[in-house]
Structure 1
Amino acid sequence: MALTDTALKALKPKEIPYIVSDNRGLYAEVLPTGSIVWRYRYRLSGKREKLTLGKYPALTLKNARLKRDEAAQTVALGQSPAQKKQLAKVAGPENTTVAEFAERFFRDIQERDRKDSTIPRRYLDKDIVPHIGTKQVREITAEDVRSVVWRKKQQGFDAAAGQIRGLLKRMLDYAVTCGLLDHNPVAALPMRHVYRAAARDRALTPDEIRLFLRAMQVSNIRRQFKIAFQLILMTLVRKSELMLAQWRDVHLDEGEWHIPVENSKTGKPHIVYLSKQSVLLFRELKILAGNSAWVLPGRGTLTKPFAHNALNSALKVALQDQEIPAFTIHDLRRTASTLLHEKGWASDVVEKALNHTIGGVRGVYNRAEYAEQRKEMLQFWADFIDRLAPANNLVVMSASV
């Protein structure tokens, strides 16, 4: 027998849930708490399913029947209203924009799976959102993706274009998972057509190091960058490790720079033992940094470090009109590794100084830190570099820090 509002108002809770039926699959479930929930029961492909419609009295009897009828039409088309409702919960509103969905992607996926999201976040904020951020995710096309990626390529940053393409691929894969897209439009833009990383084996010769450092020292790039290049070469660190360094981790009196877990590519803290020349250069950077917590505070601000590509651009300027084959900042690490091996330093000591994870069985059993050997080697290496282009050339102030 069909329900009435009078009958619904008279329903009382019991110790266990119970149901009272209306008709055509609609029923009310009375919970021990006193709540009354509308549900619709139906069969699809021989299987029984149910759909929760809402709570009474917020959802009236009349409106519950209307929602039941809408769901019945969906079943008649061979679709599951319960599944559609679940997908809608996962997907979010149909008019979700790229900028809105990107925040969800970073919260749910990117920051969970990646240790450092600084660079992807920068690509999102500067290259993706300004151009397609207001578009609805459901409307994103291959042409939208192409316009963002090709814009970066036309600026001369092929590797960055490849990273932006990768970020869009992961983000829109998640949109497919959430039901906002039927397919990923990034698939129409294969990575091999955007950027193909070449295997690198570039290592500078001592003569090339001399030419580079002297050209860099007399160039018109920022003095912090001149010091940064000399430090990267002397300390064997990664560019990102220096760019993200803070003064709280630099202990000049002890001659140590502690790279914390969050800045270390290996996911483990790392100690860089500083040579006399490196300490001198850090003292100069301390003066230039003023009251900033960052070793290399950005242009016009003391609260943030320089942008990721700032040193790359400075390298291009420093190498203008120089007869030195092209190289990257990362090649300075390979240069140090190559020359130190050639000069007889033990491979494990070099690898530890580079903050590499030693592979194979040896890596499993070798827990040595080689602290004393690394101190000796890095001082030897700094003396070698100093004979090519003295660190004193970059110091114009004096202070006790």
Structure 2
Amino acid sequence: MPKLATPLNDTRIKALKPKANRYAVSDGGGLVLEVMASGSKIWRYRYSLHGKQQPVVTIGEYPATSLMAARERARRYAEIVAGGVSPMADAKKDRGAEKSLNTVRDFGAYWTEQQMSDKSDEYRRTTNRALEKDVYPAIGNKPLPDVTPGDVLAICDRIKKRGSPKMALHTRNVIKRMFEYAIARQFVTINPAAAVVARFVATQESRDRVLSPEELGRVLRAVYASSIRRPLKLAIHLLVLTMVRKSELIEARWNEFNLDEGIWRIPAERMKKDREHWVYLAPQAIAMLRELHEGRTSQEYVFPTVRGTDRPIAKSTLNQAIRALDMEVQHFVLHDFRRTASTHLHEMGQSSDAIEKALAHTIKGIKGVYNRAEYADERRRILQLWAEFVDGQIDEGRKVVIGKFGSAA
């Protein structure tokens, strides 16, 4: 009795390595996968007609032709052979009907399908956003081998003109990874993005990004409309309202808060200037913290990790959450919330010294000698004013349920 072939699966197929000479692995039913010396893997169909072995039929290359698709074609070809006819003509028609991968857009879709399945949702979203927003409109219809370093640089320059140098660098890296895969699959021989040096795309410059009122509302509405965890939504909102640094918020401990008095005392060892800092919480912030306290999973940390250990979330968690949002806001980082609050409060005519104290900035000269409670009443008032201003921007186009965090909450 002939030995039955062990059916293939994607894990086994990916583990097949090229050898000096090509070799074939059977899936059964006449379907074989031929592994070429170059590393390419080609589906073939072997069959006999009228008692004679016939030339193999080429089905397509893996993974462009998936295992399931190859099996379906082999099954159909077996039915044709059973009727006494060669499936060669049908195989040629099938291959001709396959989508061409010649253009950047077509190959990009193929690349994301093959390479992104094991990536995080956030990684897939940011990659697809770069392709759809900037790469495809510029070079989507261009043949893959015709893309030049100048094309890549032009895309990056357009993104930088929008005020988004980091997004420009990210997009360059997406193109680079896509062409690395194209080279591996023997579609092209040159990677045009590799010739665009990273430091020429995005340089280290002091940031001066300030979100407009409309952008601020758009960001927070996008946060609450997203699928990220509720505590992370509140963390981003609190980052806006409290004007603290990201590290100061994510490492916050419950014993630092007196919610009845509306004061958050951040100890000196957690502050950039090694000086204790008091945050005078607006009612909106207090309501959020009470919600977090009621649903807490840690007795110590306000924003604990979900990985089973009693420690705060990673420093990158909120950054990843923001990058995953679907919103039309020019690139910004979380630290820009502090500059945004300072700018708008100054424009409202609020005390510069009180704003600087609220930001935990050092005030030079004789004014800087005052104790931590100096400007307390004014700081409490401006943080309440800021919370109401932020509420107004959210309400301007609100279509999502956010929570009752108003002054009466």
TM-score (norm 1): 0.48
Higher gyration radius (CA): 1
TM-score (norm 2): 0.47
